[in-house]
Amino acid sequence: MSFREALDAALPPGRVADDPDVVAAYSRDQAAWAPVGRAAVLVRAADTDEVRRVVEVCAAHGVPIVPRGAGTGLSGGANAVDGCVVLALDGMNRILEIDEREQLAVVQPGVVNDDLRAAVAEHGLWYPPDPASSPWSTIGGNTATNAGGVCCVKYGVTRDYVLGLEAVTGRGEVVRLGRRTRKGVAGYDLAGLFVGSEGTLGVITEITVRLLPLGDRVQRTIVGGFDSLVDAGRAVAAVAASGLTPSALELVDRYCLKAVDDWKNMGLADVGDVLLLGRTDGKDEAEAAELQAVFDAAGATWSTRSTDAEEAEALFAARRLAYPALERLGPVLTEDVCVPRGLVPEMLGRIEAHAKAHDVHIANIAHAGDGNLHPLIIVPADDDAARARAQRAFEAILDDAIALGGTVTGEHGVGLLKMRGMRDELGEGVLAMHRAVKDALDPAGIFNPGKVIA
């Protein structure tokens, strides 16, 4: 029996699609610069058993599998490889359980982040991880890349909320990893191993996440304007040194604000060259006042504490819209480096220097509070020379992040774009450990081959 015959026989009618346009639509994520292969077919799985059957058939025939959620990734991790099955999990989108007493939820991988947040809020609970793509990205994809977001400076990233998961391994076995309890140290943390694995170890088919009480947090927004990236970076370092832990601390430059304003007409383009958007959620004004004082002492040209919830939300909405707004201007090569918070001004200065040295425009947004910087290298369409310069700047920024004791990816994942950087960051000894783990869990080498550690 051929591979296609075996796949059709293993699944209900309608699950397998081979129309070239349909397959192509599912064959890449949002990393415009990452290469894309030609997939053989698309499979839209409806449950764990169908995923298991797909894995069994692919393992028997040596056919690669590229799992895919909503395709909002920015590193090429969900891009097809030649001859693969693109395994779409967005149809597995049910919230299976919300346990108020234990403060947890059990979800399928296709559940959208904001949909989960809305559902648990009805029970007085909160799911904190909030990537900028939260209106569209799925919990499965968030888990596969260990996604972060605006709230992570205080509340942590996806890994901090995954208690357990169900996955299909390379031997076609369905396994449950982790636990439902708040504590547990029986055996290795295999659930944690799958978080951030980018589909290279198996297919995640269910996730159990920890929740927090929604509570009565009072959101206060503090905005500071700065004359330069480095000045804003010094303020970030000063916040870290002060001992304050805001619930958000975001950086956005004038170029990003103007791009959003030109698109959405939000009236924000002339508020400053570089803004720091801070947010506190304590019950009184004291923390917000302290944060504003740190901004002022660090050199803010102006600062304010917003008492207008609509205005404050508009600023954070502009931060979230920056990437799609910039995409309208031309191809964007997105960075995702993370450095120690005290070295944020140094890293921002180096980014500016690379923009000049390579004659490219780099816009800047950042989860500044935890040192996670997102310089966005923008080039004109169809300008091959500019594209080559942008790639050189991209690689130089990776090298600087490593040199400063940071990492080449804080939350977007390695995918295809950061493989060289990860090799330099980790070294051959640690990479050998990664390969040993992959060989053990994926003996046929079918899960997302050519990504991350290839």
Left (φ > 0), alpha (ψ -120 to 50) or beta: where does 14 sit?
left
With respect to residue 55, please indicate whether it lies within any of the assigned structural domains.
Answer: no
For 383, half-sphere exposure in the C-beta direction (CA atoms, 13 angstrom radius) is: 15
Instruction: Answer with the one of 324, 340, 361 that is the final residue of a domain.
Output: 324
Residue 389 CA to its chain's centroid (Å): 25
E strands present in 254-324? 274-280, 302-306
Residue 56 burial class via C-beta count within 10 angstroms: exposed 0-12, middle 13-18, buried 19 and up:
middle
| Residues 103 and 158 both lie in one domain | yes
| Residues 129 and 147 both lie in one domain | yes
With respect to residue 16, please indicate whether it lies within any of the assigned structural domains.
Answer: no
> Around Cβ 276, how many Cβ atoms within 10 Å?
30
| Residues 262 and 275 both lie in one domain | yes
The residue type at 273:
D
pLDDT the model gives residue 272: 72
Q: What are phi and psi of 158, to 5 degrees?
A: -55, -45
> Around Cβ 327, how many Cβ atoms within 10 Å?
17
What's the domain range around 191? 95-213
Task: Name the residue among 271, 341, 284 with its Cα closest to residue 312.
Answer: 271
With respect to residue 248, please indicate whether it lies within any of the assigned structural domains.
Answer: yes
Which residue stretches of the chain have pLDDT < 70?
Answer: 268-271, 307-308
Backbone CA torsion sign across 335, 424, 153, 145: positive
| Residues 286 and 230 both lie in one domain | yes
What CATH number corresponds to the domain at position 159? 3.30.465.10
With respect to residue 347, please indicate whether it lies within any of the assigned structural domains.
Answer: no
| Pairwise CA distance, residues 211 & 119, whole Å | 12
- CB proximity list for 234: less than 8 A, separation 6 or greater: 298, 299, 345
pLDDT the model gives residue 327: 86
What CATH number corresponds to the domain at position 244? 3.30.70.2190
Structure tokens at 289: 């006042």
Q: How many residues does the chain have?
A: 454
Backbone CA torsion sign across 295, 301, 307, 308: negative
With respect to residue 132, please indicate whether it lies within any of the assigned structural domains.
Answer: yes
Domains identified in the chain, total number? 2
pLDDT the model gives residue 270: 66
Task: Name the residue among 403, 454, 441, 451 with its Cα closest to residue 425.
Answer: 403
The residue assigned the tokens 């570089």 is: 274
| Pairwise CA distance, residues 378 & 390, whole Å | 8
Greatest CA separation for the chain: 72
> Around Cβ 40, how many Cβ atoms within 10 Å?
19
Task: Name the residue among 190, 210, 183, 279 with its Cα closest to residue 239.
Answer: 279
pLDDT the model gives residue 317: 82
With respect to residue 134, please indicate whether it lies within any of the assigned structural domains.
Answer: yes
| Residues 131 and 201 both lie in one domain | yes
Structure tokens at 27: 């064959």
Structure tokens at 156: 């942590």
| Residues 310 and 228 both lie in one domain | yes
Q: Is there a contact between 149 and 130 (Cβ–Cβ < 8 Å)?
A: yes
| Residues 206 and 293 both lie in one domain | no
| Residues 209 and 224 both lie in one domain | no
Structure tokens at 158: 């996806």
| Pairwise CA distance, residues 298 & 344, whole Å | 14
pLDDT the model gives residue 177: 98
Q: Is there a contact between 36 and 79 (Cβ–Cβ < 8 Å)?
A: yes
Residue 409 CA to its chain's centroid (Å): 9
Instruction: Answer with the one of 178, 197, 213 that is the final residue of a domain.
Output: 213
| Pairwise CA distance, residues 136 & 114, whole Å | 8
| Residues 172 and 103 both lie in one domain | yes
Structure tokens at 100: 């108020």
| Pairwise CA distance, residues 350 & 394, whole Å | 12
pLDDT the model gives residue 307: 65
Q: What does DSSP say about strands 65-68 and 85-88: parallel, antiparallel, or unpaired?
A: parallel
Residue 84 DSSP class: P
pLDDT the model gives residue 269: 59
| Residues 126 and 203 both lie in one domain | yes
Residue 95 DSSP class: E
| Residues 151 and 205 both lie in one domain | yes
| Pairwise CA distance, residues 130 & 68, whole Å | 19
Structure tokens at 187: 């055996």
Q: What does DSSP say about strands 361-367 and 372-378: parallel, antiparallel, or unpaired?
A: antiparallel
Residue percentage of the chain with pLDDT more than 70:
98
The residue assigned the tokens 């060289």 is: 420
| Residues 245 and 317 both lie in one domain | yes
Q: What are phi and psi of 372, to 5 degrees?
A: -95, 105
| Pairwise CA distance, residues 71 & 27, whole Å | 9
Instruction: Answer with the one of 324, 359, 374 that is the final residue of a domain.
Output: 324
| Pairwise CA distance, residues 44 & 199, whole Å | 16
CA distances from 88 to 21, 297, 300 (A): 15, 50, 47
